[in-house]
Amino acid sequence: MDLSIFHDPGIYDGDPNRSELDSHADTCVAGSNTVPLYFTEHKASVSPIIGEYSPLPDVPIASVATAWDDPKDGSTIILVIHEALYFGDRMPHSLLCPNQMRDSGIIVHDCPTVYDNNSSHSIIIPSAEGADIELPLHMRGTISYLDTRRPTEAELLSCERFELTSASTWNPSLIPGKEQEDYFRDVQAFNTAKLPVSDFNLFNPPELSQNLLSRLIGSIQIQASQQKPIQHGHHEADVIAHATDQREQAALNATSRSASVTNEELARRWFIGLDSASRTLLATTQEGMRFVDGNLDRRLRTSQAHLRFPTLNCVIYTDTFFAKCRSIRGYTCAQIFTDVRKFFRIYPMLKKSDAHHSLTQFIQEIGIPRNCLVDRALEERLTEWGRIISHYKIKLRTTEC
C-alpha cells in the first residue's frame, strides 16, 4: 500500500483529536484518537511516500471506533472505520481515505467552501429515514480534517454507531477506479456529442469511442486450457486475460496480506496432500475472524451476521419492476431476484424505496448472495440497502450503464 503517513512532519500542533482527509492514502489509517474494536486476520506492508524509508511490515488491519461530538447539541456518536491500518499511539492522528468512504456509500465533499461555494465541505452519512448525518470538516492549512477523539468505554456501549467504511475486505489494488472513470467519461462524451445511432458501427467506430472499444476487447476472458465452458465457481487461475497489452491496473502499489492458515500448515495438521489443502482453503469461508490482543476482560459485540443464514454461491440479479395499475392491496411495483436460470423470487412493494425490505426478506427466506448485481439506482446501492449489503458482507456489483 502507498500511504502518506509520514506527510507534514514538521507542523504537528500536538492535537490528537483529528482525523485528516488524505486523498493520497489508499486506505484509512487509525491513530491515537481511535479504539480498536477487533482485528482481522490480515496484515499489510506499508510504504511511505518516498523510497528513502523502509516499508513497515505486518501492520495490523482492524475495525476501530472514534467519537464525534455534535457542536450544536453536544451529543456524541461513534464512527466505525472498518479495514483500517491500525497504528494506535504510534500515530498522533488518523487519516481518512475519501474514496474508501465513497466506496461504502458515504458522501464526501472535500473541497473547501472558500474554493467552491456549492460545496458543503462535510462528510454526509446517508440515512434511510431521510435524516442524513452531516459531519462538518475543518481546515488546518490546506488539510481538511474531522474533529474526532478517542471514545470512552461508556460511550462505546451507549452511543449510536455509524459506519464510515465497509466491513468487506478492502484491497485498493483491486478497485477498478481507473477503468470505471474512463468508461463514464467516454459515455458522457458520447452523450454530449449526440451522435446518431446509425453513425455508430462496432467494426468502424467513431474516434470518440476508440478507448472504450479497446477496453471492452481487453476485458474479454478466455479459458487457459481444456476447452470447457466456464461455470460458476471457477478458479481465477483457470482464466487468463486476453489482449493483456490493453489491460491496465490502478495506479497503486500491491499490498502483501498474510493469511492465517497456509496450504502447507493445513496439510500438516490434517495429514492431507497439498492439492487437497489448497482446494479446502478455496472452499472455506474465513470472514469475520477476530484477534484480540491481551486479556479478554470484556464482552465483544458479535459481527458475524453473514454466518446466520446460508450463503448462495452464485450471482443473484435483482431489479425493480413497475405495474401499470395498482393492486387491490395497494402494491405498485415488485422487487425480483433471480439467478437467470430457473430460480426467481418476487416481492411486491408499495413504492420503490421499500426495496431494502425485499432484500432483507430474501436473505431470511433464501440466504445471503455471495454476489449481487443491480443497476445504478440509488435505492439499490446506498441508504438502507447499502447498510444491509455491508452488514451481511455481500459483494455488490452494478451494471455499466
110-162 pLDDT, tens digit per residue, is 888 888 888 889 999 887 666 788 999 998 888 899 999 999 988 988 898 88
**CB 20: neighbour CB atoms within 10 A?**
20
What residues does CATH 3.30.420.10 cover in the chain? 306-401
Q: How far apart are CA 44 and CA 351, in angstroms?
A: 44
Residue 190's H or E segment, with its range, is helix 177-193
Nearest-angstrom CA–CA distance, 396 and 217: 24
Instruction: Determine the average pLDDT of the residues in 373-387.
Output: 81
Enter the C-alpha cell of residue 129.
429515514
As a whole number, the mean pLDDT across the chain is 76
**Share above pLDDT 90 across residues of the chain, in percent, rounded to a whole number:** 14
Cβ-count burial 218-233 (b if 16+ within 10 Å, e if not)? beeeeeeeeeeeeeee
Report which of residues 9 and 34 the model is more confident about.
Answer: 34
- The type of residue at 376 is R
Q: Taking phi first (over 0 means left), then psi (-120 to 50 degrees means alpha), and beta for anything else, what does residue 8 get?
A: left
Residue range 379-386: mean pLDDT, rounded? 79
CB 26 within 8 A of CB 45: no
Tell me the per-residue pLDDT of 190-204, one tens digit each, with 9 for 90 and over.
Answer: 555 554 544 445 445
Say yes or no to pLDDT of 239 above 50. no
Q: So what's the pLDDT on residue 249?
A: 42
Task: Reply yes or no on whether the pLDDT at 32 is more than 60.
Answer: yes
As a whole number of angstroms, the distance between CA 66 and CA 79 comes to 5
Running DSSP on this structure, what letter comes out for residue 221?
A: E
CATH class of the region 306-401: alpha beta
Q: Cβ(348)–Cβ(329) under 8 Å?
A: yes
Q: Quote the Cα angle for 114-126-118, to 5°.
A: 20
| pLDDT single digits (tens) 71-93 | 888 899 999 999 999 998 888 88
Q: Which has more confidence, 328 or 250?
A: 328
pLDDT in tens, 266-301: 888 888 888 888 888 877 765 655 555 656 555 555
- Cβ-contact 136, 212 below 8 angstroms: no
